[in-house]
Amino acid sequence: MHRRQILQTLAATPLALSSTRLWAADAPASAGTPRFLLVFLRGAYDAANLLVPYSNPFYYEARPNIAVPAPGKAAQAATALDDTWALAPAVATSLGPLWDKGQLSFVPFAGCADTSRSHFETQDRIELGQADGGTRDFRSGFMNRLAAALGGNAKPSRLEAMAFTDQVPLTLRGPLPVANQALRDLGKPGISASQAQAIEHMYADTRFAAMVSGGFEVRDEVTREMAGEMEAASRNAIGTKGFALEARRVARLMRERVTLGFIDVGGWDTHVGQGGASGALAGKLTELSQGLATFADEMGPQWSNTTVVVLSEFGRTFRENGNRGTDHGHGSAYWVLGGGLRGARIAGEQITLAPGTLFQNRDWPVLNDYRALLGGLFARQWGLSTAQLDAVFPGARARDLGLL
Amino acid sequence: MTRHALPLMITAALLAAGCTTTPPLSAPAAVHSVYPVDQDAAWLDRLSWGASSASLAELRRVGRSAWLDAQLSARAPLTPDLQAQLSTLTISQQNLAALVYAMEAQRKSADALTDDAAKAAAQQAYQQALNKLSREAATRALLLAAYSPNQIQEQLTWFWFNHFNVHQYKHNLRAMVGDYEQGLRVRALGHFRELLGYTAHHPAMLRYLDNEQNAAGHINENYARELLELHTLGVDAGYSQRDVQELARVLTGLGVNLSGTEPKLKPALQTLYVHRGLMEFNPARHDFGDKQLLGLSVRGRGLGELDQVLDLLARHPATARFVSRQLAQAFVADVPPPALVERMVQRWNQTDGDMAEVMRAMIGSPEFDASLGHKFKDPQHFVVSAVRLAYNTKLVLNTGPMVSWLYRLGQAPYNRQTPDGYALDESAWAGPGQLNTRFEIARAIGSGSAGLFRVEGEKVDRPAFPQLANPLYYEGIAPRLAVATQQTLDQAASPQEWATLLLASPEFMLR
């Protein structure tokens, strides 16, 4: 290479890096950096069989075959959280301790105004987080806008956003490049270190140079973080699998590098035979909650800087259907977890469930808009200005539920 | 390894595998192309699903002009072995209505079961049957992309599906995507009005965008909005919310009939009832009031209203510009040169939207030639071009690996959920995770048969080996490689690594 070319390359490099860089050059996120993980339950989970309105006889009338027994009423009964709500036994051992430590809250009657009851339509709407009505921009998700808003802070940002999914989800799409890697099945990379070096050499003078080296960096970091996994697992009495394994891997990356994460869990569309205190839905809830408990544990000291929100596109019908399942509804219950939470509360607007208070006499109403709720959390967690919040959720008014 | 050792090693490997080499492409006897071989290869990379040795030899033999004429008429027959492979598919043997009636019967009998376990099993079987149908459609699409002689037609088939996108996982669309795509294929090089009318009456579209729910007094605007925003005028064309609402009224009553049983209607309405295949126009659900949209007065009279509106939309200047620009984005550059789009629009207007002629105008432009080799491949171009480079005319026996690579790369067939279709620009695809995955796939394809020759029910692949050190490489690709790529390839430790690195090279990411 001629000297002139080298100089040109060097001059061009910082620009290329700043526009495509995934992870800050100075490696780990600092201890105090807030971390946020969004867990999206795709398929619309049945909130009323997780957060059970046990003191309301209407619940038991509406669900003769699938209701979760009230506290004290059966061997497998719900655990009272307050005078109105109880927690399903399927999650008692994993979420109970978090609730007791004040690290868990629920926001019932949460969701988005969309009433299409279409999974795709409503998932998209939530992931995009744009104002209702008007044309939607499918290349601008609210988490990407959040990442951009945080990156624009005056203080040096160490923000590193990543989707722990096969593809970058809608909510993380946008102008800011983000990394993605599913952590379910981590094979050993087929491209060896020397081949990676050879490939980087081929790309050195191209517009893809920073992406290629950044991509290998992410890959190697994931591999390194996971290297201790086998050893750690062998010390555990019970090995982790399924979502718990994924959640542990997510925690390893979020503890060290990633501060804004996304993961989704599918299979919640329980139209048929969903079960009650036990059964199909209870099994899913157990797996999910064990994963979240594992995540909290694996985050270690960083758990105190971490907030997790679990949400679903909409809720399900309050009454069971003719197939011992539930159909597409409206309002849901969002979970908020975090080491620094002022939790152990059922937060947000509530009503007493009765035929007359159900939305269209069938579903939980939406009383707590997802954009207001998440905006309020983000404002507390990062101290975002009104202008920044408006960039993340245009036209929405953030509502602080006092959870952080 | 030295520069010269590798080809020798590869030749030895090929000879050991019982392969023969083909004569060089530039043998003077039958060449009508006036362009250098590597420029012809670049031309093919843009206008086909990737150059192959055979397609390059063909282009060299007939020259660009004759090649393009043949492509734009798309009448070249499929090879008998490809034809035979396609004819085994269920979707080749049954028409759409028969397929869907059978699937509906299966769904209803599953839903009617009272035992929870039996019902769950039957419903799962139904889902698997649907999966099989969409997988067959993907198989046909990928085989045609890789081996059809009518490469521009195949590229346009993909383009039109994406332009008029539907998502396989809505309702029972997995049973419909194959038929929908085949109809787009046969119209791909025809008039835009034909394509538009076809999609507007296809059950896949009517279900995907909820027009089956759209009825007088229960307006669903979903399809009306996308018809203007995505299919014809484009979002900035100046139409209003009122235009959308009026178009939605025009569309009321147009839906699907999946049972074959026709509704009982009053005699006055009966004559206006239309039932073709799975499409149904039910006048009892139609808003018969007059409509006003985009300066057009539409007298309320039934299904004919839609034809009147589609005529207007297909010939609207905004449509010519919006669709021409999108074509140029797919075939020329992420930000198409305005002068090029202008020439396409002119041709559109002269030919009443004859897509073969619009394509001819685009390909004949100086901007087209100047853009060769600069467009980032989307995942399907990457995967199919790798298979075409590695296997030339040898038919893969299993497209499963290609489908799963496309899933990993985020561009699986029929799997874009949203009506806007997959993105056509580099920024949507050229990301760190994407490139990493492409390198892994390059390795899978470069180092062995990768499951592409495993026949269902057999444990190992039938004998096959990727042959990338072929005439296309030596004459069409090697002259275009940057020094860094050449150096890297020269240092490959094995033929497999050499092939991996070639497929992972920056030059191979571009077309």
Helices and strands (DSSP H and E) totals, chain A: 12, 11
What tens digit of pLDDT does each residue of A378-402 get? Answer: 999 999 999 999 999 999 999 999 9
Instruction: Select from A320, A64, A24, A333 the least CA-distant residue to A156.
Output: A24
Q: Can you give the CATH number for the domain in which A309 is found?
A: 3.40.720
Q: Is A349 inside any structural domain?
A: yes
Q: Do B433 and A168 touch (CB under 8 A)?
A: yes
Separation between Cα atoms, residue B224 and residue B213, nearest integer Å: 12
Q: Is A220 inside any structural domain?
A: no
| B460 and B392 within one domain | yes
| Residue A367 in contact with partner chain B when CB distance is under 8 A | no
| B485 and B380 within one domain | yes
Residue B17 has pLDDT above 70, yes or no: no
Share of chain A above pLDDT 90, in %: 63
| B496 and B469 within one domain | yes
Please give the pLDDT value at position A235: 52
Instruction: Collect all residues with Cβ–Cβ distance below 8 Å to A291 and sequence separation of at least 6.
Output: A242, A243, A244, A246, A247, A248
What tens digit of pLDDT does each residue of B207-241 get? Answer: 999 899 899 998 888 899 999 999 999 988 989 98
| B504 and B414 within one domain | yes
Chain A residues touching residue B229 (CB < 8 angstroms): 135
Q: Is B229 inside any structural domain?
A: no
What tens digit of pLDDT does each residue of B152-208 get? Answer: 999 999 999 999 999 999 899 999 999 999 999 999 999 999 999 999 999 999 999
Q: Is B485 inside any structural domain?
A: yes
Q: Is B358 inside any structural domain?
A: no
| Residue A216 in contact with partner chain B when CB distance is under 8 A | yes
Structure confidence at residue A135 as a pLDDT band (50, 70, 90): confident
Structure confidence at residue B22 as a pLDDT band (50, 70, 90): low
| B96 and B17 within one domain | no
Chain B residues touching residue A135 (CB < 8 angstroms): 229, 235
Domain count, chain A: 1
Question: Distance from B404 to chain A by nearest Cα, in Å?
Answer: 12
Chain A residue at shortest CA distance from B230? A135
Q: Is B348 inside any structural domain?
A: no
Q: How many CB atoms lie within 10 A of CB B314?
A: 21
Please give the pLDDT value at position A257: 82
Chain B residues touching residue A320 (CB < 8 angstroms): none
Q: Determine the residue type at A42.
A: R
Please give the pLDDT value at position A217: 82
Structure confidence at residue A2 as a pLDDT band (50, 70, 90): very low
Mean pLDDT of A64-79: 95
Instruction: Select from B502, B486, B375, B402 the least CA-distant residue to B443.
Output: B502
Q: Is A54 inside any structural domain?
A: yes
Chain B residue at shortest CA distance from A271? B120
Q: Is B257 inside any structural domain?
A: no
Residue B161 structure tokens: 């599906």
| B80 and B68 within one domain | no
Question: Distance from A168 to chain B by nearest Cα, in Å?
Answer: 8
Residue A159 has pLDDT above 90, yes or no: no
Domain boundary among B174, B189, B204: B189
Share of chain B above pLDDT 70, in %: 94
Q: Do A198 and B418 touch (CB under 8 A)?
A: no
| Residue A199 in contact with partner chain B when CB distance is under 8 A | yes
Q: Determine the residue type at A61.
A: E
Q: Is B293 inside any structural domain?
A: no
- A122 close to A314: Cβ distance less than 8 angstroms: yes
What tens digit of pLDDT does each residue of A189-202 get? Answer: 899 999 999 999 99
Supply the pTM of this predicted model.
Answer: 0.80
Q: Is A212 inside any structural domain?
A: no
Q: Do A191 and B443 touch (CB under 8 A)?
A: yes
In terms of residue numbers, what domain contains B421? 5-73+375-509
CB-nearest partner of A138 from B418, B431, B492: B418
Q: Do A272 and B123 touch (CB under 8 A)?
A: yes
Chain B residues touching residue A204 (CB < 8 angstroms): 484
Chain B residues touching residue A179 (CB < 8 angstroms): 432-433
- Its ipTM equals 0.92
- B464 close to B391: Cβ distance less than 8 angstroms: yes
Please give the pLDDT value at position A178: 80
Please give the pLDDT value at position B23: 54
Distance between alpha carbon B376 and the CA centroid of its chain, in Å?
17
Chain B residues touching residue A208 (CB < 8 angstroms): 430, 435, 506, 509
Q: Is A321 inside any structural domain?
A: yes
| B502 and B389 within one domain | yes
Domain count, chain B: 2
Element (H, E) at A364: none
Chain A residues touching residue B418 (CB < 8 angstroms): 120, 124, 138
Q: Is A398 inside any structural domain?
A: no
In terms of residue numbers, what domain contains A318? 34-191+240-392
CB-nearest partner of A324 from B116, B235, B420: B116
| Residue A223 in contact with partner chain B when CB distance is under 8 A | no
Q: Do B170 and A205 touch (CB under 8 A)?
A: no
Domain boundary among B132, B161, B189: B189
Structure confidence at residue B417 as a pLDDT band (50, 70, 90): confident
Where are the alpha helices (H) located in A38-85, listed in sequence order? Answer: 57-62
Q: Checking DSSP bridges between strand A332-338 and strand A79-80, what pairing results, if any?
A: unpaired
Left if phi > 0, otherwise alpha if psi is -120 to 50, otherwise beta: which for A360?
left
Mean pLDDT of B321-336: 97
Separation between Cα atoms, residue A152 and residue B154, nearest integer Å: 44
Q: Is A1 inside any structural domain?
A: no
- B253 close to B281: Cβ distance less than 8 angstroms: yes
Structure confidence at residue B27 as a pLDDT band (50, 70, 90): low
Question: Distance from B483 to chain A by nearest Cα, in Å?
Answer: 9
| B132 and B29 within one domain | no
| B170 and B90 within one domain | yes
Q: How many CB atoms lie within 10 A of CB A257?
A: 21
Selected residue of A124, A126, A167 to mutate for chain B interface (largest B Cβ count, 10 A)? A167
Residue B460 has pLDDT above 60, yes or no: yes
Element (H, E) at A343: none
